[in-house]
Amino acid sequence: MSKRQSQLTLLIDGQAGTDTLYPVLHACQTAQLTDQPLWIVAPPSVQRECRQQWSARSQPQWEIDWHWLESLADFDWTQLQTDWLGVIPGGAVLPVIPPRLPAIPGLMPWLPAVELPQETAREQSLSALAWLGATALLSPIAHQLKTWADWTLLQVGQYLDQQQMVYRWYASPVVPSSGQGLPASAATLTVLAIVPHYQCEPWLAQCLRSLIHQTRSLDGIVVIDDGSAVPPLEIVHQFPQVTLLAAPTRVGPYRLVQQVIEATTYETYLFQDADDWSSCDRLEILLHLLQTTAADLVGTQEIRVDAETGQISLGCYPLDVSAALATKPGHPLLHPTSLVRRDLVQRVGGFATGLQFGGDTEFLLRSRFVATIANSPQWCYFRRKRSHSLTTAPATGLASPARQALLTQLKQRAVQHQIAVTTGLAPDLTPLAIAEPILLRHLAGPRLKWAKN
């Protein structure tokens, strides 16, 4: 049996024992994933047991060349002959074997197969996360990678950022690169990325880097500061292609977003929170989905990052959001992962600008009556879960009395809309609360495509 050209070397933590280790080896053999050595870090007892299992079960026509290591300090970087390294820590669920790897160096979560929900969001915990990294990126920081605690996806990303190395985050699973397969109509759509900002200075640069490095370039990126005493001018100046606007007082993200959409003429708008980051192929994936499904609003799956513990979990969402919302007024799409057509925003009267929080849910529950809404099965969005955000702060958090009261009101309103439709009436899709427009000051960056007055 001929072996295909190898792209990947594997580094595997064998500490979890052969019950975890053997399925990984077997999957690699079955997929003919690599003809390069597998580097397995495990104590001698695990080595002996796994060798015995492998000898008894493996197929002789494709033997794996493995190297056993008693510690990570024994790992020899000079013997790496591939462009990518796959890291499988102890406790990681067997990841899906990738059909291909990107040509441009980067990092990518290497996720297991996940069954997505049908009606509303569901969180799936991960005891450990496998990941893929380009060896060109990892080699310069190899001296810092001493223990398995250093060999986590987030830790490696931090080391790369400290070295100011340029790299990309990729969606999981891998998709074709840079525009391949995009319908012509999607390739020419104009897209503005909107980033509302308030007290997110520690994470804003990472957010903007992820937008600048999209495989399908954006037509504009705007940060809208929500009344900070000192807007993030110094950070935005590092990115000449990014525009910074500022509100005179704090008014909430939906008033900022609606103001920009009303005043500009882009065909679509990509949302992102200032403390999160995107895979480099997120826009390409969303545009493809937007056009191939004739949707008006599309989102992606979410990788949740606990800012305090570093723990990663998966935010799983239904693929058919329209069908999910027809079943019940749940939470089937994460707003900051989404891309929306300007036409939809106009048809439903825009966002509820009078709401300080919950405006994304309010917009979604109204939009489903006039729009096709879908999610991609790919994990393209990294959401940072941290204290003092709108969804975690005591006054506005998901469990706060104010948030729960608003959610009850929104669901009751959605039910009333459904009753109207069922009885042959048109639902009243007016936003729940509307505030006056505000004047946004231009502080830095290119001019946007403003509508003519």
Question: What pLDDT is recorded for position 61?
Answer: 46
Q: What is the DSSP letter of 373?
A: E
* b/e sequence 427-447, b meaning 16+ C-beta within 10 Å: bebebbbbbeeeebeebbbee
Question: What pLDDT is recorded for position 36?
Answer: 55
* Rg for the chain, CA atoms, rounded: 24
For residue 394, give both structure tokens. Answer: 């005591």
Q: Which of 3.40.50.1010, 3.30.1360.120, 3.30.230.10, 3.90.550.10 would CATH assign to domain 184-399+407-422?
A: 3.90.550.10
Region 57-80: what's the mean pLDDT?
Answer: 68
**Most confident stretch, 103-112, 332-341, 405-414:** 332-341
pLDDT at 4 over 50: no
Question: Which residue's entry shows tokens 């709401």?
Answer: 355
Mean pLDDT of the chain: 87
Q: What is the pLDDT of residues 397-422, one digit of tens each?
A: 777 888 889 899 999 999 999 999 99
Region 235-262: what's the mean pLDDT?
Answer: 97
Question: What pLDDT is recorded for position 447?
Answer: 96
pLDDT at 345 over 80: yes
**Predicted confidence band at 57 (pLDDT cuts at 50, 70, 90)?**
low
pLDDT at 1 over 70: no
Measure the CA–CA gap between 212 and 266, rounded to whole angstroms: 18
pLDDT at 79 over 80: no
For residue 268, give both structure tokens. Answer: 């679509």
| Long-range pairs, 235-238, Cβ under 8 A, ≥24 | 235/201, 235/204, 235/205, 235/208, 236/204, 236/208, 236/443, 236/444, 236/445, 237/444, 238/205, 238/208
Q: 407 — alpha (psi -120 to 50), left (phi > 0) or beta? A: alpha
Measure the CA–CA gap between 185 and 182, rounded to whole angstroms: 8
Q: Strands 191-197, 168-169: parallel, antiparallel or unpaired by DSSP? A: unpaired
pLDDT at 323 over 90: yes
Q: What is the pLDDT of residues 12-37, one digit of tens each?
A: 887 766 666 667 666 666 655 555 56
Region 231-244: what's the mean pLDDT?
Answer: 98
Query: What SS3 state is found at 63?
Result: coil
Question: What pLDDT is recorded for position 177?
Answer: 46
Question: What pLDDT is recorded for position 38?
Answer: 64
For 201, phi then psi, to 5°, come to: -55, -40
Cis omega (within 30 of 0) for bond into 109? no
Query: Nearest to residue 269, comparing CAs of 184, 189, 362?
Result: 189
pTM: 0.92
311 compared with 394, residue with greater pLDDT:
311
How far is CA 215 from its chain centroid? Answer: 15
Whether residue 429 contacts residue 417, with contact meaning beta carbons closer than 8 Å, is answered with: yes
Question: What pLDDT is recorded for position 102?
Answer: 85
pLDDT at 268 over 90: yes
Measure the CA–CA gap between 315 and 382, rounded to whole angstroms: 10
Question: What pLDDT is recorded for position 2?
Answer: 35
pLDDT at 259 over 90: yes
- Give the rounded percent of residues in the chain with a pLDDT score beyond 70: 87
Region 384-406: what's the mean pLDDT?
Answer: 78
Question: What pLDDT is recorded for position 380?
Answer: 96
pLDDT at 376 over 80: yes
Question: What pLDDT is recorded for position 44?
Answer: 76
How far is CA 280 from its chain centroid? Answer: 9
pLDDT at 390 over 80: no
CATH 3.90.550.10 occupies which residues in the chain?
Answer: 184-399+407-422
| Long-range pairs, 389-394, Cβ under 8 A, ≥24 | 389/275, 390/253, 390/357, 391/357
Question: Which residue's entry shows tokens 């792209």?
Answer: 7
Measure the CA–CA gap between 87 and 54, rounded to whole angstroms: 20
Question: What pLDDT is recorded for position 92?
Answer: 83
Hey, what amino acid is at 104? I
Q: What is the DSSP letter of 165?
A: -
Tell me the CATH number for domain 8-169: 3.90.550
